Amino acid sequence: MALEGGMRCVKFLVFFFNFLFWLCGIALIVIGIYVQIELNKTLIMSSPSASGAPIVIIVVGVVIFFVSFFGCCGASKENYCMVTTFAILLTCIFLVEIAAAIAGYIFKDKVRAVLQDGLEDAMKKYGNDSLVTQTLDELQRKYSCCGANNYTDWSTIEPFKSNHSVPASCCWANATVPTCYLRPTPATINVQGCAQSIEAWLKKHIVIVAAVALGIAFFELLGIIFACCLMKGIRSGYEVM
């Protein structure tokens, strides 16, 4: 009876963890879509590497969503094949997340270069593309920045090159001089580049993402262990209620 009760508890835990995975899958899908929208709205990057991260998040979320549903069915039906498949798929997801974390750590120093390239490409379209112009203006106001590296980047872009000016969105939010962008100085406009500002914002929030990822990975590891225990119980022929 003790063994039967223990296996019943394992079955409940497998079902419970699968429900948590299901919620995590939904959360990852939402986060991935949100990040993708923000990248499209603010960074205006045409490089595939710019949208690679949110796409990976969305794909992992979708996979976890369906795998967790599959695991719930296997646990409730006490199907050895389904529980085994669930454990294998969850192990694969766990390994992929570890690989992604390692790759993210290795390539973290390239974020600045990707941001800078995207911003420089967008600056070249400023004034010619209304969507790019509006988005860059919103970006510079939101992050209190100007240009890719600094405000002098605009001196290479027409029509700012000819009159040594910058976009009006480079002015301080509380600027007292309405035409400060016509004669830009560090005393009247934001001098810091947007690549640096966005990179700082990303580094500030990456800690939260890393904590969430570690939490999900921990629950996945527990789920794998409980699934293996349930597999052993089903295979041994014990009745799991």
Q: What is the mean pLDDT of the chain?
A: 77
pLDDT score of 226: 80
Residues 66 and 141 reside in one and the same domain: no
Please indicate, yes or no, if residue 202 is contained in any of the structural domains: no
Q: Is the pLDDT of residue 11 over 80?
A: no
Indicate the pLDDT class of residue 104, thresholds 50, 70 and 90: low
Range(s) of the domain holding residue 144 = 112-195
| More confident site: 24 or 53 | 24
Q: Is the pLDDT of residue 200 over 70?
A: yes
Q: Write b or e for each residue in 168-203: b if 16 or more Cβ atoms lie within 10 A of its Cβ, otherwise e.
A: bbbbeeeeeeeebbeebeeebbbbbbbbbbbbeeee
Residues 11 and 101 reside in one and the same domain: yes
Q: Is the pLDDT of residue 189 over 80?
A: yes
pLDDT score of 241: 45
Question: Domain of 188: which CATH number?
Answer: 1.10.1450.10
